[in-house]
Amino acid sequence: MKRALILGISGQDGSYLAQLLLSKGYEVHGTSRDADAQPFGGLVALGIRDRVTVHSASPLEFRNVLEVIATVKPQEIYNLAGQSSVGLSFLQPVRAMESIAVGALQLLEAVRFHDRTIRVYNASSSECFGEVPTGTACDERTPFRPRSPYATAKAAAHWATANYRDAYGLFACSGILFNHESPLRPRRFVTSKILSAARRVAAGEKIKMEIGNLRISRDWGYAPEYVQAMWLMLQRDEPEDFVIATGESHTLEEFLAGVFARHSLDWREHVVVDPRLFRPSDIAYNRGNPTRSREHLHWTPRTSFDQLLDVLVRDTHD
């Protein structure tokens, strides 16, 4: 039986990844900063909380990370920990850098020190690419030009992972994931706010949702499919970084209109665009090129944008 350790198991991706690994016969362990106080709502929602062993660990404490690795003795480690909100990173830039970049470095160093045979997956992000011309599909060779503290931290963690792979021979790789949603997405994300607002209006509440820039365009996929790509990356003979995306881009207005329309509502009657909610610097357009993940991982997204909206509206609950 393979044993996996998921850092940041309480999040959306950690929960779906735990479910996937359990279905493949893994013994699954996960970490949270304070496991006793963490409700692990995602694991509970998926009905797998009692099948996962959780540990308290801070990714910023080297000894703490090392002790968990030594206790669990995993063959695979998935690093999904750290601040996950671009917007929040503008308010807490130091925390973003510490929890993402320094956290990744602590993990890599712990693996190098304890057991270099452990395979390590690092969660990179499409935000690292920054602004690209409209129509551009980013691939593994597209330069990084981060435009937020979150993206800057993710870029640092990405290159630290590549450095440990090259310098120390670790099986360490990064998945450059574009936006991926699910019913487990936390409330602070704009997509979840849209879904909640539409449900409330449909239930009869008289509310006006305030939202930022509707012109931004993103490559949106379905989270349970994206964690499959993470697993596939650690099953290869050699470690490589891959872009994980759908290859399509849709505006936030399309997302908003689609969600409200599925409740037979016109979003224009219930939503107000507030320029004060615009980010200090934002990416107008992003789209990924998943050619290499299709050719080398044999991974292809199966859920279209319209199907994704159907799932989110049907299965997301307050």
Q: Which of the following is catalytic: 10, 15, 32, 127?
A: 127
Q: Which of the following is catalytic: 89, 99, 124, 125?
A: 125
The answer to whether residue 61 is catalytic is no
The dihedral region occupied by 311, where left means phi > 0, alpha psi between -120 and 50, and beta the remainder, is: alpha
The answer to whether residue 127 is catalytic is yes
The answer to whether residue 222 is catalytic is no
| Residues designated catalytic | 125, 127, 150
